[in-house]
A and B are shown apart, each in its own frame.
Chain A
Amino acid sequence: MIDRRSFLTASAAASAAGMLAACAKKNPAKSAGSQTGSKQITLGFSQVGSESGWRAANTQSVKQAAAAAGIALKFSDAQQKQENQISAIRSYIAQKVDVISFSPVVVTGWDTVLKEAKAANIPVILTDRSVETSDPSLYVTLVGSDFEIEGERAAHLLEKVLAGHKGPVKIAQLEGTTGAAPAIERAKGFATIMHASHPEWKIIASQTGDFTRAGGKQVMAAFLQAHADIDVLFSHNDDMAIGAIQSIQAAGKTPGTDIKIVSVDGVHDGFVAMSKGQINAIVECNPLLGPQLMDAVKVVHAGKGSTLPRWIKTKESDYTADQAAAALPSRKY
């Protein structure tokens, strides 16, 4: 009986593992292999996962840029788990790739594996997010966005949106996931500008919407009940803003007019909302960092890593509603 039960449990677990494997296959590693001579650079890249549209665009950009730059890419998806990323990096070390790059899923706990890479003489480039290490020489550079600057840019965009507005401004803020770097730093950057130059601005309500549409909608519905006089919504990403727009409409107000909305990311649906005038301005947070990453990989491979800045910031722009319709067709994510 026990044998039968354990067999059944095992087979059920195996079938579940099979399902997971099937899911993982949606991001097939497009390693070009070593079809060309020894000159070709091999890059081992460990992605965080595929948790959002932003991330999917990020993955695609890395793959396309690698193909365009003639770099052989070994790609793996860590499914949001640090241990998966660490084992991926170890396998890249064992395969003796030329450069390792990864988007760290969390901030700490990378020292050991990064030291192994250093001992094997393989340079490491971080993308999108940073790590905390005891030894700064463990990675060459970080290619990614500066979330704090994004917060500051959002504040400056709001200045533009509010041009001509007199008197106090009451702001509601939809924060990202509590404790996530983008949430903390976007709030910080925004507050810095607000305190420095806008004593008339006041954040009257601030809550986390977990970066999701459902979260943004629910929190905004409650904000609108508790505060009848919100002038501005600052949302840490477009999805929460899209959810909040629905709540604002349900409250009988016009998003973009009665309540001005400034948001971060620049995903396709965010641009659609902005082209309808529902979002007033968007701070772009660009996932398309593949080309910049490949440039950095080439420099590092040529042994000139020391010439690179410690932080290569992604090329990003700010958009206001009047630019939305023109920019919409070219949005890739």
Chain B
Amino acid sequence: MSLTSLWRAATQHRLFWPVTALVALLVINVPFTPGFFEIHLKNGHLYGSLVSIVLFGSPLILVAIGMTLVIATGGIDLSVGAVVAISGALACLVVSKQGNEDAVGGVLLAFALALAAALVCGVWNGLLVARLGIQPIIATLILMVAGRGIAQLITSGQIITVNSGAYSLIGGGYWLALPFSLFVVALVVVLSMALTRRTALGLLVEAVGGNAEASRLVGIRSRRIKIMAYVFCGLCAGIAGLMISSNVSAADGNNAGLWIELDAILAVVIGGTSLTGGRFHLGGTIIGALIIQTLTTTIYTIGVPTQTNLVFKAVVVIVVCLMQSPAFRAKVFGARAQRRGPARKTPGVPADAPQQMEVSP
């Protein structure tokens, strides 16, 4: 294989543009922070900008993975931010009521209750969408608005502070010198990839998202699949809520997870999943979430003035989205590509991620 054909294969990989954007964003930091890629060992754990990006980006990755599956079924979940707030609030309330906040049993109880609440939220969304046929954007809007109220009710409008070493592990602690949240994210990613790509589940989700009625007629229980997607999304948001509250050892019903639903949807879109449902790309979503977190960190480290933060973010997001659009690339780079050779083939199937759709034995 010649170098040019390798290059062409690479640029046609659907993760090429997101990964390029991520690398470019990381490299931009180097002139401003020469030691940006350095990672040191401090207090027995790894320390550096890249570690911070993973640590602070973990909740977004989780929420975005759940969001990907919901979007793949043709839905959307606006309530994840509220679920984040509810789960964090409930967990911190339970921990703060324990006599000994460090007790592992109490922390596990808090986790269980918080995740149960997140599960209920997911079931509620799923029932509204799949059973009652309410449009997803409206159905989840209800919990988006009301859920934050519930979180405030749990915290009585205050910030609940906890002093629990065990609780701070999941979102702010380290294990084997790495952020513990990294392991949680890895577990969820591996589980969801295995479930969707190694079993028929992924195919079923894509079928439901492509055409719910048709998939129902061929015998797929599309309602059940949809409910499962919302429940999974709620659970992911619940874990993210534990991480966010654990990261600062406090539950803030008003601000925890505020607007995270929009960041998550953006991450899904940057990752190459269409909002109309159907095919989805978990790997792309993870890259998308990392891009958003890197962008935030970049704004802080290169010293973008506060008032222009959002403009800077908007410009980067627009550029990333445009570069991903085949129509845009054809307009701008089209003339060159045509001169070079035959028309491009359909987007290449990645070699690394298992893409086959057949039902496993």
Contacts and interface: CB of A to CB of B under 8 A. Distances in A.
Interface of A: 5, 8-9, 12-13, 15-16, 19-20, 22-24, 26, 50-53, 55-56, 175, 178, 205-208, 210, 212-215, 217-219, 221-223, 225-226, 239, 242-243, 246, 250-252, 269
Given A16-B142, A213-B159, A225 B301 contact: yes
A101 to B, nearest CB: 20
Contacts, number: 126
B161 interface: yes
Given A178-B307, A226-B32, A213 B250 contact: yes
B52 interface: yes
Contact of A8 (B35, B134, B252): B134
A26 B151 CA distance: 12
A222 B149 contact: no
A26 B157 contact: yes
Contacts of A210: 255
Contact of A214 (B149, B152, B161, B244): B244
Contacts of B256: 214
A76 to B, nearest CB: 15
Given A20-B146, A56-B158, A252-B42, A222 B252 contact: no
Given A207-B300, A207-B306, A12 B157 contact: no
Contacts of A12: 128, 132, 134, 138-139, 142
B156 interface: yes
B143 to A, nearest CB: 8
A219 B56 CA distance: 11
B303 A226 contact: yes
Tell me the interface secondary structure of chain A in the complex. Answer: helix
B297 interface: yes
A225 B52 contact: yes
Interface in B36-70: 36, 42-43, 47-49, 52, 56
Interface in B112-140: 128, 132-134, 138-139
Nearest to A204: B303
11 contacts: A12-B128, A19-B150, A26-B156, A207-B306, A208-B309, A218-B56, A218-B296, A239-B252, A242-B248, A246-B249, A251-B47
Nearest to B159: A53
B138 A9 contact: yes
B47 A252 contact: yes
A250 B300 contact: no
B300 to A, nearest CB: 3
Could you say which of B36, B47, B256 has the most chain A C-beta atoms within 10 Å of its C-beta?
A: B47
